[in-house]
Amino acid sequence: MRFLISYPQTNWDYAKFRLNRIIRGKDKSSDVFTGSPGGKIQLLEQLEPLGKFRLLDEIYPTKPFGMEYVAGEGLYFITGLPCCIDGQAGDEHILRLNDQGEIDLVIKHPLFSQMRSLRRTKNGILVTSSGIDAILEVNLSGEIIWDWFGTEQGYSTRYGGGERTIDRDFDHRTLCYSGKLQTTHLNSAIVDPYDESKILTILFYQGKVARIDRETLKLEHVIENLNGAHHIRPHSKGYMLSNSRKGETHIYDRNFQLLEIIDGTNSLFPVKWVQDTIEQPSGSHLIADCNTFNLRERTADGKERKFNTQMPNRIFQIEPVGDDFSFNELAHSHFTKD
């Protein structure tokens, strides 16, 4: 099995910033990192369950977050720096790297602000624009074909207090939206794999998963009592997400009833954070244990194999690809290491 891992921040300056802001417990949620974060996407292979992980290759796009490989189309991924000083426009955008190593699609939009997740849909690409608390579906020409704004659907109170409104006609790439200015920090959205008329999204600050009706935009809360969750995904039993601050993975049935909790980190480690999890064909799970800088495979009977990502490389997303996927020389020429 081959899979990709994205790392949005790979330099030590960012690691020091995180250490001061989070691990030491200082409330700096209004601070924004203004340096160069680095960035990397790695290709790994595991030949058998609980087998050794082998690093095959890597490329170095700036700050890659969400991604998805679509056979016959290529690797879609989010890259580019967000605005970190008001008035200085960021450059967050979507790229497609095709199987020939060519960048054959670039999508930019004024509503792209702190994008976190990306999923290919029948008609385009579904992204979370966390900076403006919005889910956007764009077609491959970069036009908005569907949207949902939290500020228009009952989530207008900023995390730091006060009311928030979003001007749809403004270029939001020119403003820096820290965590305290956001109302939900929604960070993951997918088409419900069992009902394509619905969208599932994680409301990070509310600790909930919402299911949104595509036509009416109305929502219902289907999962609650989460703590810093990320990456809602389909699972063979129903659904799966990473309950990040608790250091665990949750598995739900198709009625959103909790079936299983998988510990995703060392139980003794004081600052837990599981960023993402995928299910393997064997039934085991690959878990991004970010704060110990490990990728862990855990089986149903408790066995484990791990791959150390090396400080300061914190995984954002794990994404399976085909067994013949690779980066060629042309792909490397687009994304060189700083």
Q: Hey, which bits of 173-218 come out as E strands? A: 189-191, 198-203, 208-213
Name the residue among 98, 174, 96 with its Cα closest to residue 132: 174
Give the pair of three-digit tokens for residue 334.
Answer: 């687009």
Mean pLDDT of the chain: 94
The residues, any chain, with a CB within 8 Å of residue 11's CB and separated by 6 or more, are 35, 36, 37, 38, 312
pLDDT band at 175 (very low <50, low <70, confident <90, very high): very high
Percent above pLDDT 90 for the chain: 87
CB < 8 Å & 24+ apart, contacts of 252-258: 252/223, 254/194, 256/209, 256/222, 256/223
Q: Which of residues 30 and 293 earns the better pLDDT score?
A: 293
**Predicted pLDDT of residue 15:** 75
266-289 average pLDDT score: 94
Give the pair of three-digit tokens for residue 37.
Answer: 């974060």
Residues facing residue 305 across a β-bridge: 297
118-124 average pLDDT score: 98
Q: Is 132 left (phi over 0), alpha (psi -120 to 50) or beta?
A: alpha
Q: Residue 172: phi, psi to the nearest 5? A: -75, -5
| In the predicted structure, residue 299 carries a pLDDT above the cut 70 | yes
**pLDDT tens digits for 81-100?**
999 889 999 999 999 999 99
Name the residue among 118, 109, 184 with its Cα closest to residue 151: 184
**pLDDT tens digits for 183-234?**
999 999 999 999 999 999 999 999 999 999 999 999 999 999 999 999 999 9
63-86 average pLDDT score: 95
Q: Rounded to an integer, what distance in angstroms lies between the CA atom of residue 28 and that of residue 102?
A: 40
Look at residue 22 and give its three-state secondary structure.
Answer: helix
- Model-wide pTM > 0.85: yes
**Predicted pLDDT of residue 32:** 72
**Predicted pLDDT of residue 30:** 58
CB burial class (10 A; 0-12, 13-18, 19+) of residue 68?
A: buried
| In the predicted structure, residue 29 carries a pLDDT above the cut 60 | no
CB burial class (10 A; 0-12, 13-18, 19+) of residue 224?
A: exposed
Handedness of CA 207, 211, 215, 218 (dihedral sign): negative
Is-contact 183 176, C-beta < 8 A?
no
pLDDT band at 280 (very low <50, low <70, confident <90, very high): very high
Handedness of CA 332, 40, 303, 231 (dihedral sign): negative
Q: Rounded to an integer, what distance in angstroms lies between the CA atom of residue 148 and that of residue 136?
A: 7
Q: Residue 90: phi, psi to the nearest 5? A: -80, 180
| In the predicted structure, residue 20 carries a pLDDT above the cut 90 | no
Percent above pLDDT 70 for the chain: 97
**Predicted pLDDT of residue 36:** 82
**Predicted pLDDT of residue 290:** 93
Q: Rounded to an integer, what distance in angstroms lies between the CA atom of residue 221 and that of residue 229?
A: 14
Name the residue among 97, 16, 34 with its Cα closest to residue 64: 97
* CATH fold group of domain 2-334: Neuraminidase (2.120.10)
**Predicted pLDDT of residue 23:** 60
| In the predicted structure, residue 24 carries a pLDDT above the cut 90 | no
Is-contact 130 185, C-beta < 8 A?
yes
How many helical (H) and strand (E) elements, i.e. helices and strands, does the chain have?
2, 24
**Predicted pLDDT of residue 262:** 96
**R_g (Cα) of the chain, nearest Å:** 19
pLDDT band at 28 (very low <50, low <70, confident <90, very high): low
